[in-house]
Amino acid sequence: MPESNKRLSVSEKLSYGLGDTASNFFFQTFNLFLLYYYTDVFGIGPAAAGSIFLAARVVDMFSDPIMGVIADRTNSRWGKFRPYLLWMAIPYGIIGYLMFVVPDISEGGKLMYAYATYIAMMLAYTAINIPYSALLGVISPSSTERTLVSSYRFFGAFAGGLLISMFVRPLVYAVGGEDNEAFGFQVTMAIFAAVSVVMFFVTFRGTRERVQPPAGQKNDLRKDLGALVQNRAWLILFFVAVFTLANVAARGAATVYYFKYYVGASDAPMFLIFDQTSIIMTSGMLGLIAGVWLSKPLAARFEKRSIMIWFSLFNAICMALFFIVPPDQFWLMFTLSVLGGFLAGPTVPLVWSMYADVADYGEWRWGRRSTGLVFSAALFAQKMGLAIGGAMAGWYLGLAGFVAGAEQGPSALMGIRILFSLFPAGLAAAAIVALVFYPLKSTMLSQIETELGVRRTTTEGEGI
């Protein structure tokens, strides 16, 4: 068996997975705590903070495909994608830490500082995470192995998210107390930054690139983009990503509103240091982590497309059921949260392994391999979905008559319930419809893998 076709070691899979743990130490912190930090700790207004997020989103929507093109054209002794894990790890950690340093300057100066550090951090995140994601497409020529590696990746990602959701607040208060949250955040993020840098170094050292572009492939952005937009499988996954991430963003934005205003959950701890809302968030994340490990055995027996469709459908049903759950049925909500997370778990690594399959298909069909461009375009679609879902959530709450901090009327409560349940379920249904048309089945992937293996072996033989 050629070395490139061997099964990857557990240590290499773990090394790859740690890269997404490193990413999520910052990414999940931003998702869960950055708005609060900007408004209540850093001292800038919520509207100004929202503008920062929007500006950075516009920048990184364009920077993602550019970074993909750059990575595809990188040639080094470490490969195309691994070098960026080495080169960008320290800048990534330093900039992430600097975001949580509070300078003693004017309010206008703080706003400029926040803009500069957040946009710089998103650029650093792009520069390290696009190559990291694309590494999945070249770590093995085997679609089966890539699916398993993807499972390790998202176990690492969800584990990082779980640690953030559980322990950021306790760490901040343990270090800074209630009177000095700024110092608490600064020390906490310094710890996360240092650990993230080390994890990226481990990923760099512990992984290899085994799939190379076809011999003689010349850099031609026009041809790469042309092959991408002709790639029906990629186009379908693009829309799946937009609908899925819009679903995630809308439901995530509605979670606190649903439990605060509809359920009437208090901030008092229910178990140890965790209140009801934290328990629901944590339970969903634990369900995701458990579900991730189903992806490999499921993919060995069923079509990836079929798994995606059915598990997404049952997850959508779990989301929709929240609409009819009475507000006093906390444990029923807990059960639906765990079950929904568990059902969503296998779909996450599967869809990323499908992007790697799409890169194989592009090489097989058009003779051009643009792994970085494929994965950067996937992240572009996801960020578009996040932007759409977040914006639609805000608009919908406004239309429903939501008033912050007040007792909500029937229209607002109905809007919150729909936004947390039926609305994301509808977006999930739209993703399912798109998946029905996904063309790459197991028999075709086996043919592609075999023929590409023959091409590469023939090319290597001719080069001897």
- Interval 336-384: pLDDT, tens: 999 999 999 889 888 888 888 888 888 888 877 777 788 887 887 877 7
What would the pLDDT profile of 384-424 be if each residue is shown by its tens digit?
787 777 667 777 777 888 776 678 889 989 998 998 999 99
For residue 1, pLDDT over 50 is answered with no
Dihedral angle at the C-alpha atoms of 411, 416, 417, 421, nearest 10 degrees? 140
Q: Is the pLDDT of residue 45 over 60?
A: yes
pLDDT in the model for residue 462: 52
Mean local confidence (pLDDT), 209-219: 74
- Whose tokens are 């516009």? That residue is 58
Does 194 have pLDDT greater than 80? yes
Residue 201 has pLDDT above 90, yes or no: yes
Helix/strand/coil (H, E, C) string of 53-115? HHHHHHHHHHHHHHHHHHHHCCCCCCCCCHHHHHHHHHHHHHHHHHCCCCCCCCHHHHHHHHH
Q: Average pLDDT, stretch 184-204? A: 95
Task: Write down the pTM of the prediction.
Answer: 0.74
- Please give the pLDDT value at position 464: 43
Position 3 scores a pLDDT of 47
Amino acid identity for residue 208 in this structure: R
Residues 216-235, mean pLDDT to the nearest whole number:
76
State yes or no: pLDDT of 267 exceeds 60. Answer: yes
Mean pLDDT, the chain, as a whole number? 85
Which 8-state DSSP code applies to residue 267?
S
Q: What is the pLDDT of residue 412?
A: 87
pLDDT tier, 150 (very low <50, low <70, confident <90, very high otherwise): confident
